[in-house]
Structure 1
């Protein structure tokens, strides 16, 4: 293969990886937040909503909304040096402005008419995914209680510039109906009692968007694709990865296992570097037998000892990626069949996009390997090198908080 062709392959591949990685923070899912809402029956026909809001984001957003509100000073001080008692005290001391921030961005309507909110009790503080969350209980009085109840959320919008892509996970048990919904800027509202297929689509879309926005998981898939020689091999490793991350995703999302993000995120980054580096090591080890690699994948396929080890490594790293998926979704509600259904659909969205990426890229790589074997080796080598380097960079950033 000519030097010109090699340079072209290297340049194109490096550009693709650089494009995918550009602007990605140490946590490759970016600065996002998830709000939680439980909707239930209240007294005298009223509706009760229990909201869970990320404490530090809530304090900064509500204070900025009020222009130099003292909530910012007391709230941020409590976040940096205080505990749950100090944090709840900071919110309760400025409850009027804090509640006003919420009620101007979150609403409940009945048959198209707005319901009136009233705070019940004080703010409370709990923890989700290792960070403090503020709990706010609101009682909604509706002039006429109809069958068409709509919940709308515009909490922590992109325009406030603190976070991007806020999700609001709503679970409800009302009027004999129960279910869940996922709200965001593109889909800010839903009607309680909506058809099952609409709820299915919401969580399916949420899972698909999560994988597409998680550049670390995409790079891990690229490493798997680059290091696989046959369709059967990529099917095996993809299945291993899918089974592993599905198990831990469900267990973590249901609150049965727990692992701090400070450990999970660096290990995910390390997994990217290791899986991509595995292929580079195999290329280097067989550098004197290029013909073997160029014809690899033709004829009968079977896993050798190294192949089985790679499969096991992918499975182990898949377990960690599942914890990352659950951490990003952030659900830790009490067990229910509705919650399980929502998690399964979310996972289906992840798997669909994962299979689509493999189906789109792996055949192209196979064609390149068969028509220009040496070019195929160079392409997979450059992809693996770039992915491995990115994984190592993220590992250092996430480990040392750079």
Structure 2
């Protein structure tokens, strides 16, 4: 392989990784937020919704909506002090502004007519993944015989400039029906009478989008692919990763696991660096000989090192599963409906994971077969870049940079 070609290959790999690094912030999934909604029977045939909204984001957005920075300043002071009572008091003191903001962007519709909301009690506070959340309960009076009932959410849109890609995770138990749904800007509404396959499609799509937009998870997968010479190796590694994060997902759904994001996120970043560094270590161990590493010699059958690698991947997969679970705020005990939706979410993740493997691994396999030295340099450069990004993210997440 010529020196110019080698430099070009390394340059391309570095450029791709730089782009991914710039596209992906220190947080695993970008500066975003999740709204949680539970829909139940209210009094006098009304529909009751319980909204959980990230507190500091809600305060800023509501203050901007009313052009009243009093709410922002009071709420910000309460947020900084961690005073739960003060946080609730700040919202209750400006309840008109806060409720107006929420009901302007969140609604219940019966047929073509909007239902009328009434706040139930005052604002209270809760927590999701260690973050303060404001709890707002509303009763909705809907016209009789109005038709199909829908829930619509456009809370915290991108246009406000505070966060991007906000998702609303909704569950409902109403008139003998139960279900769950995932809403975003592209799919802002769901029917309380929606068929099961529509509900499952929403979670499949959400799972697929979650992996595609989770740059750190993609880099982890690329590190696995770069370090696998044979199809059997990547299949075993991907299966180990899948089983691990599925286990964590189920434990979270059962309410048996609750690990703060401030712990999960740095470990995810560290896992990227470790798995990428594993391949670099193998290159150094073999003296950088392409014939050993890339041509498919017998040195790398599933020996002790291979089983150790699978064990490491499995352990880190458990942590990634906590990251996937955290994306949906899974902290409460499961229901069968929510559990099935979460499993479909997981299937969406696996579909994208398999698609990435099917796209990238054959290209590397052909390169390794036709030009072993080039394959070595490409996978080495890819692993080095991924390892660096993982370490950078690890430092950023540990120190909150």
TM-score (normalizing by structure 2)? 0.97
The answer to whether the aligner puts 1:57 opposite 2:61 as a matched pair is no
Please tell me whether residue 119 in structure 1 is matched to residue 119 in structure 2. yes
CA distance in 2 between counterparts of 1:169 and 1:227 reads 36
Q: Is the 8 A contact 2:148 2:191 kept in 1?
A: yes
Deviation by residue 1:326-347 (Cα, 9 ceiling, x = unmatched)? 1122132332101101110110
Query: What are the superposed Cα offsets for residues 101-123 of structure 1, whole Å, 9 maximum, x if unpaired?
Result: 00110111112111100001011
Aligned partners of 1:207 and 1:348 also within 8 Å: yes
Matches within 5 A, 1:2-401: 2-287=2-287, 289-296=289-296, 302-401=301-400
3-state SS of 1:171 partner? strand
Q: Could you list the runs of 5+ residues in structure 1 that have no partner in the other structure?
A: none
Contact 2:157–2:166 (CA<8 Å) still a contact in 1? yes
Preserved contact between residue 54 and residue 131 of structure 1 (Cα < 8 Å): yes
> Quick check: 1:34–1:329 contact (8 Å CA) kept in 2?
yes
CA-to-partner distance for each residue in 1:132-165, whole Å, 9 max, x for gaps? 1111110111122445101110100000011101
Give, in whole Å, the separation in 2 of the partners of 1:33 and 1:245: 22
| Large movers: runs of 4+ above 6 Å | none
Measure the CA separation in 2 of the matches of 1:44 and 1:161.
39
C-alpha separation between the residues in 1 aligned to 2:397 and 2:33? 18
Tell me which moved more, 126-135 or 77-86: 77-86
Distance 2:331 2:259 in 1: 13
Counterparts of 1:211 and 1:294 in 2: how far apart (Å)? Answer: 28
SS of equivalent residue, structure 1 residue 104: helix
Distance 2:61 2:293 in 1: 56
How many residues of Structure 1 are paired with residues of Structure 2 in the alignment? 401
Kept in 2, the 8 Å contact 1:45–1:145? The answer is no
Distance 1:294 1:106, change over 3 A: closer
- Asked whether the 8 Å contact 2:113–2:146 carries over to 1, the reply is no
Task: Return closer, same or farther for 1:254/1:160 CA change in 2, 3 Å cut-off.
Answer: farther
Measured in 1, the distance between the counterparts of 2:265 and 2:392 equals: 12
SS in 2 for 1:70: helix
Aligned CA distance change for structure 1 residues 95 and 306 (closer, same or farther; 3 Å)? same
Per-residue deviation, residues 159-201 of structure 1 (Å, max 9, x unmatched):
0011101111111111111101111000001111111111111
Q: Whole-Å Cα distance in 1 between the matches of residues 299 and 271 of structure 2?
A: 29
Cα distance in 1 for residues equivalent to 2:225 and 2:288: 23
Contact in 2 for aligned 1:41/1:173 (Cα 8 Å)? yes
Q: Give, in angstroms, the shift of residue 209 of structure 1.
A: 0.4
Structure 1 residue 253: deviation in Å? 4.0
Deviations 1:264-314 (CA, angstroms, capped at 9, x unpaired)? 111111111011001001101111644222422x57973011111111111
Q: Distance in 1 between matches of 2:253 and 2:98?
A: 29
Query: For 2:383 and 2:334, how far apart are their aligned partners in 1?
Result: 41
Q: Which moved further from structure 2: 41-50 or 142-151?
A: 142-151
Contact 2:88 2:125 in 1 (8 A): yes
Greater Cα shift, 184-193 or 80-89: 80-89
Q: 2:368 & 2:385 partners in 1: Cα distance? A: 19
Q: How far, CA to CA, are the matches of 1:96 and 1:322 in structure 2?
A: 40
Cα separation, 1, equivalents of 2:113 and 2:132: 34
8 Å contact kept, 1:237–1:311: yes
Check whether the contact 1:148–1:191 (CA below 8 A) recurs between aligned residues.
yes
Contact 1:253/1:330, CA 8 A, preserved across alignment = no
State the Cα RMSD in Å.
1.4
